[in-house]
Structure 1
């Protein structure tokens, strides 16, 4: 990055409406007119980023756009009293990387209310190894706790367990003393999931089988990153009084179930949104991530790429070929 230009991944549309993703040299005059200028050290690759970069689905709402729903770095300039130059910050959500320019740029201007101070002892790289996926996982764990799910009540199941949200959820729950059952469609991830703390692994195929309205009770709680038939089965197999935290729909947005688990077993289905999560809850979640997720566990989830490697990884994450968390290094 020179004094005058910096590198960014820019999404544009051609005349046929196809998404074009190219590395461009930009200047500060190209950036949005927001109050805080951040030198971005790291970003990350989430499923939603994969959709945006590949042009799959209607994720991008403003053209042209720098994607990347996460970023972590240092404040360079600030017109806000909330931050000063040199402050280490992290940003997830708020429509960044969808409606507003995001983290796949070495410099970015953002609103101060989108930023959270980087927790003490956490590096920008670690923050992006967590990113939206890990932040969402913590919100799911907090939802289970709010629902009264405790480790002595029985197993907690995590669907899509080898993905970004699932990996962090498995690690957080296992460290908190829960017996974690991981659902995955890839046998190659079994050793990885056991290292994160999964005590049992079951196949995605088993959980995709159509369920009756009520099945044998198996789960005290769940973190579901998938939706669709798998979530329907998790609900049918939930214990009396269970809480299910649902945060994803990679397996479909429809839910083929009935009201029976909710009425006859007092099951709570708690939706979890990380995009518009209030600031106070964000701060609690990030502080807990800094405390509850050991650095060595986090390091074991990381695959690092440079900005030029993002398009290829974006295609892979949509095919379910990415394990753990992809961190994007923007310092080169």
Structure 2
């Protein structure tokens, strides 16, 4: 394809420990080798993207860089027979947006093994309302159900409920027949959580009890936690016998302080959820469920659409904890 310019949000290192973000003109020569070139229609903003956009070396090692761990668009070129020009595809996870230029640019070039055909039942836009956050929430529920979780056992706690993973988890649990208990510190968003399907809303403090007792009274049959730290510890200690607690985030803290008692007395199961390197057969299965039996009703309630030109402001708001649901970026 002839070289031309396209727009991308680029993060430049201007001095040690200081970066600057700007909308920059790029060419296809700025992209790495790969079998599939995709014209990105939509991306979405994740916490990992916000970290990459501020120069966090734990996410992105080399700058200048284009963040965006999610992308959905149309194949422009492919040297792999599985994909043809015009195919609508999703690319999330792996190294996209970390050290490989990501979805905050109008084009990406990636290995064919990273690409997922858009499942029937989801548009490109809807797939990015879900993105990594929705996929992670679905993977968490899948692992819980593989380990015996069932709606009849009782309600399931969702921490960080107004965030990307949390909002998706509340809506997904409701769709799958569960009773979601939503934990949040944002009192002004209770109506939002109720609209997603939360049957009970509790404060952030109610899931942040100091480790004075090794176990607490059972309050939920399972949990999907994206906060970590003492919140995850409380979710474990207050989980009912044989319940499953899925952990998939550390926005509060990466540390966990609990005793073994919930595990050896109540049989509580702690399930780690890692979506970046999820095997492709399981990845395809989860996306198919999200497009069919687990298709969230009223997906648009979770989303706010923004342009690439306005993305900078939303990155700052996310780092301040002032966003809700999913920020979808329109790159068309």
Q: TM-score, normalised by structure 1?
A: 0.96
For residues 295 and 86 of structure 1, what CA distance do their matches in structure 2 show? 27
For residues 101 and 281 of structure 2, what CA distance do their matches in structure 1 show? 24
What does residue range 236-247 of structure 1 map to in structure 2 within 5 Å?
A: 236-247=237-248
For residues 113 and 177 of structure 2, what CA distance do their matches in structure 1 show? 34
Q: Which deviates further from its counterpart, 5-14 or 126-135?
A: 5-14
Task: Tell me the residue number matched to 2:63.
Answer: 63
For residues 148 and 297 of structure 2, what CA distance do their matches in structure 1 show? 29
Shift of 1:107: 1.1
Task: Tell me the residue number matched to 1:308.
Answer: 309
For residues 281 and 237 of structure 1, what CA distance do their matches in structure 2 show? 30
Kindly provide the CA deviation profile for residues 30-71 of structure 1, in whole angstroms up to 9, marking residues without a partner as x.
111211110000000011111111235632122221110000
Task: Tell me the residue number matched to 1:23.
Answer: 23
Q: Is the 8 A contact 1:126 1:295 kept in 2?
A: no
Residues 201 and 254 of structure 1: is their aligned pair in 2 closer, same or farther, counting only changes over 3 Å? same
Task: Tell me the residue number matched to 1:139.
Answer: 139
Task: Please give the secondary structure, in 1, of the residue aligned with 2:227.
Answer: coil
Task: Tell me the residue number matched to 1:226.
Answer: 227
Task: Tell me the residue number matched to 2:319.
Answer: 318
- Please list every run of at least 4 consecutive aligned residues from structure 1 whose deviation after the TM superposition is greater than 3 angstroms: 292-296
Structure 1 spans left out of the alignment, 5+ residues: none
Q: Is the 8 A contact 1:62 1:99 kept in 2?
A: yes
Residues 118 and 71 of structure 1: is their aligned pair in 2 closer, same or farther, counting only changes over 3 Å? same
Task: Tell me the residue number matched to 2:102.
Answer: 102
Task: Please give the secondary structure, in 2, of the residue aligned with 1:14.
Answer: strand
Task: Tell me the residue number matched to 2:280.
Answer: 279
Structure 2 spans left out of the alignment, 5+ residues: none
For residues 20 and 178 of structure 1, what CA distance do their matches in structure 2 show? 44
Kindly provide the CA deviation profile for residues 90-123 of structure 1, in whole angstroms up to 9, marking residues without a partner as x.
0111021112111111111111101100011321
Q: TM-score, normalised by structure 2?
A: 0.96
For residues 19 and 274 of structure 2, what CA distance do their matches in structure 1 show? 27
Q: Which deviates further from its counterpart, 230-239 or 49-58?
A: 49-58
Residues 283 and 152 of structure 1: is their aligned pair in 2 closer, same or farther, counting only changes over 3 Å? same
Task: Please give the secondary structure, in 1, of the residue aligned with 2:292.
Answer: helix
Q: Is the 8 A contact 1:53 1:311 kept in 2?
A: no
